Amino acid sequence: MIFNLQTPQQPASRKKRWLSYALIFVLVLAATAVMMLCPCDTVGIHDYHAISLVALAALIALAAAYVLYRRMSRDSGITGFLRAAIALAIVGVSVYVELFAAQEIVAWLASRK
């Protein structure tokens, strides 16, 4: 009993943790999906559709970074600025990797007959 470190609220905490991870994953996936819809090779001042899609993807990615930042807030040894930079880096790399993989899969499917 003395060495029992589990609290009665641990299952709810575990559920909340997994829900936050799922929310981060869904937001990163949504940002990648919006970027896949974007005609980004023609982004310019006159293409407002592409600019709005890139802005929407950036907002979704910022939301994912915020959720990740809040998830990392329990690490007291890291400053707020460093947590924000790490969260932005993780989300940015995640969106880039998913976008790269999605483009490779689409190119592979297009080359098949």
* Residue-level pLDDT at 33: 92
CA–CA gap between residue 72 and residue 44 (Å, rounded): 36
Residue 3 lies in a domain: no
* Residue-level pLDDT at 1: 47
Total domain count for the chain?
1
| Structural domain containing residue 63 | 16-111
Residue 5 lies in a domain: no
Q: What phi-psi label fits residue 26: left (phi over 0), alpha (psi between -120 and 50 degrees) or beta?
A: alpha
As given in the structure block, the two tokens for residue 108 are 């592979």
Question: In this structure, what is the dihedral angle of CA atoms 99, 100, 102, 105, given to the nearest 10 degrees?
Answer: 170
Q: Are 81 and 34 in contact (CB under 8 A)?
A: no
As given in the structure block, the two tokens for residue 51 are 């600019």
Residue 2 lies in a domain: no
* Tens place of pLDDT per residue across the chain (113 aa): 455 555 555 666 888 888 999 999 999 999 999 988 877 665 455 667 778 888 899 999 999 999 999 988 776 678 889 999 999 999 999 999 999 999 899 899 999 86
CA–CA gap between residue 108 and residue 113 (Å, rounded): 10
